[in-house]
Structure 1
């Protein structure tokens, strides 16, 4: 049976779009190539605990809809305020503390938020879509089609998609575990300036709230681009750089690397979404700034627009 809307991509923007359509009374299905929905809200279970390997945190911002969603997550204990203070570390190790907006995290890993959004939706997982056209997915009737994914991935599925090409930056996320904590308890997270290998470090035990001695390090785009074919090759230089920056005197006991070919858009469109008859797009590249809240708002706004039409 043909549905009103088919969303291709089970990240937060696609799920927000699908929920908006469903909540307005429309029929919708989500197709995702992953085993579980989540997209870049990715957590992987490593040695028995979820580790956030995609988005590092989220900021609520001033969108009333996302504020309501976050308040509900907090009330049910699946999201929590994490910290408003990060460090800034220079390549020579000099550190300063900077206060900003409250960053939020999830005790069960950020993927748990995507799974919550997915609850009750019609989702077809582990399906790789091969082609998309207005109102059609893989040659079959699909209603209004939404591509909730980075533009370079969408362009692989659609001939002549009428949007401007977007540039995206890669990242390799490297999880490092020690037997015990080897860094200050108030580190939280750190932006790294001027290092060729490391751009951001997050204390995963601190943001998850379980105190696990695990760091997740995001590479620079330049380091990631060198290792997209072999992400594990980034582990050694990233580990060495992290140990130097944080003055850790022993090697980690376990490591893991995950590749994100399209981690974040270099710039955003400023538009909330792309809409054309039978084929639309949403995601974090379609707002004012690339962020989790942007992805949710883009999907939610597109879903409401589709439902209204």
Structure 2
């Protein structure tokens, strides 16, 4: 197979990779998406826990006024895939809730955030369960020549697939990412203030953010998802469950909850967020592209979508 007859190959079926593939397809290019996971999603990750989807990755969506992504979100809202959630979160510390802070409107996904990735994948050739071992100059994916290769993933993951001495390898290796653990906590009934949608937790060694998963998804389930500090996650990457007691204590203290949850689940994110997202929308050198929320600061779902879309359009040209 020659490069001209092969499809452009996007590795990573998160929002950036899918947005890149859609931009290429819309321009009439042949494109395929490879992902080692069982389904599209990336950090738009949901897991079925106790019979309902729970969002473990990105906590919400925002959309800048008038941006192309705002039209995507509006379409999701029209079709019931996304819902306006809130513009106000609490601020908490070890001593409990302190204040409320307002910001942009955040959106949740009633069917779980993975449903949005599934929608982006509609009409694309996506091959889940596919492990790529090397992307080399040419470019080539596992030795097969392609017209272009896109690595839509955190830089440290991309660096594992690239020649460290090559320019794309240098770009990927320059990124530093922080880890996090997502801990799901479930009670028989709601134990926190009725007007609490989520809380930024300050000055706590265990937890940075708590989301009311039932509130953001709209089913009122008494389920919280806490995202840990990078330091706690780094100490427990090999044994994430060992971090759960510290997270439970921090959540109870921050929200004034008197009893332990009835059950917990934990998910490890080795690469949760970039330490310093690049201002450039993407990287592209010698037919190898890099995109995702490590590019196009700030690191949000909108930034990842914009990064992938910009790279796809550049490759189509």
Name the TM-score class by shorter chain.
over 0.9
- Cα distance in 2 for partners of 1:118, 1:132 equals 23
Aligned positions of 1:31-110 closer than 5 A: 31-62=34-65, 64-110=67-113
Deviation of 1:249 after TM superposition, in Å, equals 1.3
Closer, same or farther: CA 252–261 of 1 in aligned 2, 3 Å: same
Q: Counterpart of 2:201?
A: 192
2:276 is the counterpart of 1:264:
no
Q: Counterpart of 2:246?
A: 237
Structure 2 length-normalised TM: 0.95
Q: Counterpart of 1:115?
A: 118
Q: Counterpart of 1:136?
A: 140
Report how many aligned residue pairs link the two structures: 308
Residue 8 of structure 2: which of 5, 25, 29 is its match? 5
2:278 is the counterpart of 1:304:
no
Structure 1 length-normalised TM: 0.97
Contact 2:94 2:253 in 1 (8 A): no
Deviation of 1:95 after TM superposition, in Å, equals 1.4
Residues 24-60 of structure 1 show CA distances to partners (whole Å, capped at 9, x for unaligned) of 1000000001000100000000011000000000111
Contact 1:227 1:234 in 2 (8 A): yes
Q: Counterpart of 1:291?
A: 300
Closer, same or farther: CA 125–141 of 1 in aligned 2, 3 Å: same
- Cα distance in 1 for partners of 2:96, 2:272 equals 26
2:226 is the counterpart of 1:217:
yes
Runs of 4+ in structure 1 deviating by more than 4 angstroms, as ranges, are none
Q: Counterpart of 1:162?
A: 170
Residues 108-155 of structure 1 show CA distances to partners (whole Å, capped at 9, x for unaligned) of 011110000001110111111111113211111222000000000011
Deviation of 1:94 after TM superposition, in Å, equals 4.1
- Cα distance in 2 for partners of 1:169, 1:63 equals 31
- Cα distance in 1 for partners of 2:50, 2:193 equals 23
- Partner secondary structure for residue 226 of structure 2: strand
Deviation of 1:280 after TM superposition, in Å, equals 0.7
- Cα distance in 2 for partners of 1:272, 1:228 equals 30
Moved more, 61-70 or 208-217: 61-70
Deviation of 1:162 after TM superposition, in Å, equals 3.4
Contact 1:189 1:203 in 2 (8 A): yes
Question: Unaligned stretches of 5+ in structure 2?
Answer: none
Deviation of 1:21 after TM superposition, in Å, equals 0.2
- Partner secondary structure for residue 249 of structure 1: coil
Moved more, 239-248 or 109-118: 239-248
- Partner secondary structure for residue 48 of structure 2: strand
- Cα distance in 1 for partners of 2:51, 2:303 equals 31
- Cα distance in 1 for partners of 2:25, 2:97 equals 51
Question: Unaligned stretches of 5+ in structure 1?
Answer: none
Contact 2:97 2:255 in 1 (8 A): no
Contact 1:63 1:297 in 2 (8 A): no
